[in-house]
Structure 1
Amino acid sequence: MPPFKDHFSGHATLYRDARPLPPADWFAWLAGQAPDTTLAWDAGCGNGQASLGLAAHFERVVATDPSTTQIAQASAHPAIDYRVEPAEQSSLAAGSVSLVSVSQALHWFDLDAFHAQVRRVAKRGALLAVSAYGNCSVDRTVDAVEWKLYADTLGGDWPPERALVDSGYQGLAFPFDPVSAPSFAMHAEWNLAQFLAYLRSWSATQRHLKRTGIDPVEAATPALADAWGEPGRVRTVRWPFFTRVGRL
Structure 2
Amino acid sequence: MTDTPTGSGSAGSDVPSNWFTGGAEYAMYRPSYPTQVSSYLAELAPSTGTAVDVGCGTGQLSAQLADCFDRVLAFDPSASQIAAATPKPNVTYEVGTAERLPVADHTVDLVTAAQSAHWFNLPEFYAEARRIAVPGALIALVSYGVLRIFDADLQECFGRFYYDEIGPFWEPERRHVDEGYRTIEFPFEELDAPELSIDRDLDADGFLGYISTWSAVRKAEEEGRADLFQNFCSDIVRIWGDNGRPRQVSWPVTVRVGRLA
Give the TM-score category using the shorter length.
over 0.9
1:121 maps to 2:132 = yes
For the Cα contact (< 8 Å) 1:190–1:236, is it kept in 2? yes
Task: Return the alpha-carbon distance in structure 2 between the equivalents of residues 64 and 243 of structure 1.
Answer: 19
SS at match of 1:240: strand
TM-score (norm 2): 0.90
Which amino acid in 1 is paired with 2:178?
D
Partner of 2:15: 5
Matches within 5 A, 1:167-206: 167-206=179-218
Task: Return the alpha-carbon distance in structure 2 between the equivalents of residues 160 and 111 of structure 1.
Answer: 15
How far apart are residue 171 of structure 1 and its match? 2.4
Larger deviation, residues 162-171 vs 8-17: 8-17
- Report runs of 4+ in structure 1 exceeding 6 Å deviation: none
1:102 maps to 2:102 = no
Aligned residues between the structures: 247
Which amino acid in 2 is paired with 1:190?
L
How far apart are residue 231 of structure 1 and its match? 4.9
Gaps of 5+ in 1: none
For the Cα contact (< 8 Å) 1:193–1:231, is it kept in 2? no
TM-score (norm 1): 0.94
Partner of 1:228: 240
Partner of 1:246: 258
Task: Return the alpha-carbon distance in structure 2 between the equivalents of residues 173 and 197 of structure 1.
Answer: 32
SS at match of 1:186: strand
Partner of 2:162: 150
Partner of 1:166: 178
State the Cα deviation string for residues 36-88 of structure 1 (Å, max 9, x = none): 11100001101111110111111100001111121111122110011111011
State the Cα deviation string for residues 107-151 of structure 1 (Å, max 9, x = none): 000010001011100111111011101111112221110011111
The percentage of counterpart residues that share the same residue type is 37
Task: Return the alpha-carbon distance in structure 1 between the equivalents of residues 166 and 80 of structure 2.
Answer: 25
Gaps of 5+ in 2: 1-11
SS at match of 1:185: strand
Task: Return the alpha-carbon distance in structure 2 between the equivalents of residues 231 and 157 of structure 1.
Answer: 33
SS at match of 1:233: coil
Task: Return the alpha-carbon distance in structure 2 between the equivalents of residues 99 and 3 of structure 1.
Answer: 22
Task: Return the alpha-carbon distance in structure 2 between the equivalents of residues 153 and 207 of structure 1.
Answer: 13
Which amino acid in 2 is paired with 1:104?
Q
Task: Return the alpha-carbon distance in structure 2 between the equivalents of residues 239 and 231 of structure 1.
Answer: 24
Which amino acid in 2 is paired with 1:77?
K
Larger deviation, residues 179-188 vs 226-235: 226-235
Which amino acid in 1 is paired with 2:237?
A
For the Cα contact (< 8 Å) 1:205–1:215, is it kept in 2? no
Task: Return the alpha-carbon distance in structure 1 between the equivalents of residues 227 and 46 of structure 2.
Answer: 47
